[in-house]
Chains A and B, each alone.
Chain A
Amino acid sequence: MRLACLATALMAIAATLAGAAHAFETEEERRFPAARPGSELRVISTADTAVFTPIILAFQAENPEVAVTYVTASSRELMKALYEEGAQFDLAISSAMDLQTKLANDGLVRNYSSEATARLPAWARWRNQVFAFTQEPAVLVLSKSAFADLPVPTTREELIRLLRDNPERFYGRIGTYDVRRSGLGYLFATQDSRNTESYWRLTEIMGRLGARLYCCSSDMISDVSSGRLALAYNVLGSYAEAQLHENENILIVEPGDYLNVMLRTALIPNTARNIEAAGKMIDFLLSLGTRPELTRKTGLPPVDPSVFDRNNAFRPIRLGPGLLVFLDRMRRETFLRSWVSSIEQ
């Protein structure tokens, strides 16, 4: 995931080491030296360095003896690194809940428990191994100019009707994840297919209207804000919120029928060496709810069970063996075959 516009001057020592020493491909590797001599924490993450920098700096302010090496990679490469190559990392942070679950299920993750993990709601952890620290909904992002004279759809059915009624306006101006390339897009799409019958109809209509396929939320958001897209479906809400300040043309709609919510999770792989610091980092991540300034700087909404009271469409994706189903080789093939035949017409 690239969130280039959030890059800050703090990235002074940024080093891009694209997989020279590894078979898996990393995007960026950066070292945050410790203020005092101590241990080193190696983190592999799918979140951009720029997004995570404030968190790491705040963590180091409390733990000055921990140096942090932050390596970013796509969720698929992260999986490859830990599952196939046994790469040495102390902490893995990923938005791909299914892959994190598979790592834990297949016995590649250490147990960890602390007061902070005990306080987590049951839906935000699995097996004392996978811990969610953000809740990020999949939203619709609309271009205000495109919808100037149109009603704003609040459910998927309304969206289908709108697209069906106005094909000429939306042709070529719809964006969504290419689920073949994006792990998160695949996760959202499979959950959609579980949650509603309308998903396949929606995909078919988007296919008919020549939907453009993206790898990443940030690209979709910038295309909506530039006006190239009229709407983007299944965009990470947190990224879109971050863009709202700078761009007045975009409108974020949380579907009212149900709202898929991705939980960004952290886990300690078996290959971890600095388990103590990894545990401290997990506790720190779980305390994001009490640090509003970090939420503001990173745009990562912390886990907050009270959303259920405000929004009854809120559906956090359930951690657990159910997520393994769509990782099944045959099931994935079948799903992708259906998806491709719907979207490519």
Chain B
Amino acid sequence: MSTVAASGSIRRRLTLQLAAIAVLLSVAFFLIVRGVAEQAAGQTQDQILAASATSIADALRSEKGQVQLELPYSALSMLGSVSEDRVFYRVAIAGRTLTGYDDLPLPALPEATGEPVFATFDYRGEPVRSVTLSRNVSIGERPVEAVISVAQTRLFLGAIRARTSTIAAAVGLAFFAVAVSLSLWAAHSALRPLERLALSVTRRGPKDLRPLRAETPAELVPLVAALNNFMERLRASLARSEDFIAEAAHRVRTPLATLRTQAEIAYRRVERPENRAALKEMILAIDESSRSAGQLLDHAMVTFRTDHLETEQLDLGELACDTRNRLEPTAELKDIGLELELPDAPALFEGDPILLENALRNIVDNAIKYSPPDSLVRIALHICGGDYVIGVCDEGRGFGTGDLRRMTRRFSRGTNVEDIVGSGLGLTIADEVARAHGGRLELARNKGGKGACVSLVLPRP
């Protein structure tokens, strides 16, 4: 089985992208809130400054040919009501300072619009915001222009900026944290159907090629459809190859039977020993070929039937007995004794009789095949805890030194059997049947001597 190299993670990418969006939005939020707050604070200051300058302008009057000003208390106290900023003012008549700070700069005013002009500049070591407006005051017959300027430092603005920055930063951070956890959650929930799908595929048995029917979101439908399509094709292809093998085996077996009959006839007729030996070799080879063809057929049948078990109540003891009887002639050919050991009570089991018979036959057949002439093969049925165990032990060469678990794989054979013709399907068939019945096949080296033990373990009902 090969592992798939992962190139990036959807979850990580989704989370990172959503987090990046959250960062952008948080920063934008922070800047906008701060900008709006600063603008509002600046406008507030401008409005208060304008109100102050207007109230000074309103207090201007002429008296005995002189411009008089009684600076209103509120003009400066209103500036002190919002903040502790420094306050400066200057009133000039025709360019000459009437009262206030002589050195407070007066920006150029547009011609007689009466609109206040705002400016920001450094004055006495601190940035100030100033408002300047002009007002015509009549001295006797002719009007003169009075210019009123009020300025205030911008501590207030700084304080508002600091406060709104803190609040906006806190809210932005909270927003970011919430957005990130939400995006983690979103990524997780978006990927859940994918995980569910992967899980339902992983959980399947090795032979389960039925189409997937899990709930599938629209985006995954093409993937699932493609997967189902692929599995359908795989199943068809598997079925085809099994059919092909069965067909081929069948077609080979019939002519082989004819060939064997002819070879036997010929064997009886010829008398020269070298010809007889050659024909004998030929008959053995034909036997082996037809046995292999039979096993291939058996395997195809087992593969088909394990998907659709046809179970019925049966006695395992009877099954073992039948098997022994059927194989006895073969064993006798090699002078091999078949011993059967059964319990007194019938061993009732719910299973597919054809498959079970096939499995047991293959095990015993294997044992006979690898046993030396004039030896014993022992078949024993035991009840062992919750299981029936049908053990088949021989006195043959055993499994050699190879990995026992490998032996049940298809076409896999022991490391010590090169001299004997075999397909490597026998134990595979037995193993598949055992699994189909919820049991297993156990291989062991014969205790206390040479030979092998193969046990078909089936759960008791």
Contact = CB atoms under 8 A, between A and B. Distances in A.
Contacts of A104: 86
B87 interface: yes
B68 interface: yes
Given A328-B71, A331-B70, A331-B71, A126 B125 contact: no
B80 interface: yes
A107 interface: yes
A280 interface: no
Interface residues of B, number: 22
Given A322-B76, A330-B70, A107 B98 contact: no
Interface string B83-112: 010111000000000111000000000000
A125 to B, nearest CB: 9
A57 interface: no
Contact of B80 (A107, A128, A322, A329): A322
Contacts of A127: 84, 86
A107 B103 CA distance: 14
Given A318-B77, A330-B69, A324 B87 contact: yes
Nearest to A335: B70
Contact of A334 (B68, B84, B88): B68
A106 interface: yes
B70 A334 contact: yes
B308 interface: no
B105 to A, nearest CB: 16
Nearest to A130: B84
A107 B104 CA distance: 14
A275 B125 CA distance: 20
B79 interface: yes
B126 interface: yes
Contacts, number: 56
Given A330-B98, A331-B70, A325 B124 contact: no
Contacts of A194: 73
A320 B71 contact: no
Interface string A279-309: 0000000000000000000000000000000
Contact of A325 (B68, B75, B125): B75
Contacts of B87: 105, 321, 324
B68 A320 contact: no
Interface residues of A, number: 20
Contacts of A107: 86, 124-126
B76 A330 contact: no
Interface string A319-342: 011101110111100100000000
Contacts of A331: 69-71, 99
Contacts of B79: 321
B222 interface: no
A262 B73 CA distance: 18
B35 interface: no
Nearest to A128: B84
Given A330-B98, A334-B68, A325 B73 contact: yes
Nearest to B99: A330
Chain B CB count within 10 A is highest, among A128, A320, A326, for A320
Contacts of B80: 318, 320-322
Contacts of B126: 107
Contacts of B68: 330, 334
B100 A328 contact: yes
Contact of B73 (A106, A322, A329): A322
B72 interface: yes
Contacts of B72: 325
A325 B81 CA distance: 14
Nearest to B67: A330
11 contacts: A107-B126, A321-B77, A321-B80, A322-B73, A322-B77, A324-B76, A325-B77, A326-B73, A328-B71, A330-B69, A334-B70
Interface of B: 68-73, 75-77, 79-81, 84, 86-88, 98-100, 124-126
